[in-house]
Amino acid sequence: MLNVAIVGPGLVGGALIEQLAAHLQSPRFGSLPIAIVGLINSKKMAVSAAPFAASDLGDWKCRILGDAAGSADMAQFADSLAKLGAPTVVVDCTSSSTVAELYPEWLARGLHVVTPNKKAFSSDLSLFRKIQALAGSPRGPSVYHEATVGAGLPVLSTLNDLVRTGDRIEKIEGIFSGTLSYLFNNFSAPGATQTFSECVGVAKASGYTEPDPRDDLNGMDVARKVTILGRVAGFELGIDTLDVENIVPEALRSVASADEFMSRLPEYDDHFAQLNSEALASGSVLRYVGCVDGASGQGSVKLMRYPLDHPFAALKGSDNIIAFTTARFPSPLIVQGSGAGSAVTAFGIFSDLIKICERFGADSK
């Protein structure tokens, strides 16, 4: 049996609980040896030697992390999990740097880690190396983080397969932000009429952006994903070494609130309209793209032009698209699809759990 403990069961963690509970009750898949035994949020925690019942998982906020649950203590939580005996995975569904820094400690205690949290793999290079070293043994604890890039899309697994089979990575480029994909797919297209600020307003109202859209437009989320891809490909990238184009107008970067930013963004519609007009006049569209260059080992995040017949130009909605150009794939290997949302992110986590279950869980049923 593979034990699973979830840290930060919010939107993504809640979706994962739903998927696991439904899966385990399915006649077709009920034999999958995975069980949820631990939950912890910022206030409460619960760890059980026996799997939580499906009925309790259906109302986990009240039945598992309700008034009867213990006070949250991350050290005690990890200690309890390490004593369970069976293979155990800690699923970090937070975006916390503090939690990410605990991965080496968890791995040293024999706990596996699965996470959509980008911080451990895109922040300090020494933390990334420490995690790699601890997860490097074939039968030791493992780390999977497919959902850090492209949510549930098979991006990192594809890259890992390319690297492990000895292919030479020449270029990785892609549209890695669902928010920026939606914005430029709607703003920069032949016949589009909305201004840039109107597109941002619609995206914000539709829930595509962060509460403050500047957190999307500054490119840092894409930069983290590019850093992860570069490191998995074997390059020593860091966010501080990337060439990142922040498309937030400079005068609006320091305004006090998101509301003020949104109210003043129309002042810069002419700037974005000119960029778009120049692109369209050349038979191209604008796309916000992250890139890892295999020849130089460097990365970039920029607003770029692509001709109308390019796969990036044909993207719709808020989809992600990633193109791997390698020695074996001079015509790029392309991964495309929904790259954001709690359900697809939970799917990416679930897929990683199955990989660990296949390696470790079946031995302990």
Which residues of the chain fall short of a pLDDT of 70?
Answer: 27-31, 361-365
pLDDT at 54: 86
Residues 199 and 92 in one domain: no
What gap in Å lies between CA 182 and CA 338, rounded to an integer? 11
Distance CA 275, CA 57 (A): 51
10 Å Cβ neighbour count for 288? Answer: 24
- pLDDT (0 to 100) of residue 364: 41
Q: Which of 118, 171, 225, 302 is catalytic?
A: 225
Q: Could you tell me the CATH number of the domain that includes residue 15?
A: 3.40.50.720
Per residue in 64-113, pLDDT (tens digit) is 999 999 999 999 999 999 999 889 999 999 999 999 999 999 999 999 99
How many structural domains compose the chain?
2
- Residue 365 is a catalytic residue: no
Whose structure tokens read 């260059």? Answer: 293
Residues 74 and 14 placed together within one structural domain of the fold: yes
Q: Is residue 26 domain-shared with residue 142, that is, in the same domain?
A: yes
Domain co-membership, 190 together with 326: yes
Residue 48, by phi and psi: left (phi above 0), alpha (psi -120 to 50) or beta? Answer: beta
Cα 27 from Cα 21, distance rounded (Å): 12
Same domain, 133 and 182: no
Q: Could you list the residue range(s) of the whole structural domain that residue 325 is in?
A: 160-337
**DSSP 8-state secondary structure symbol assigned to residue 155:** S
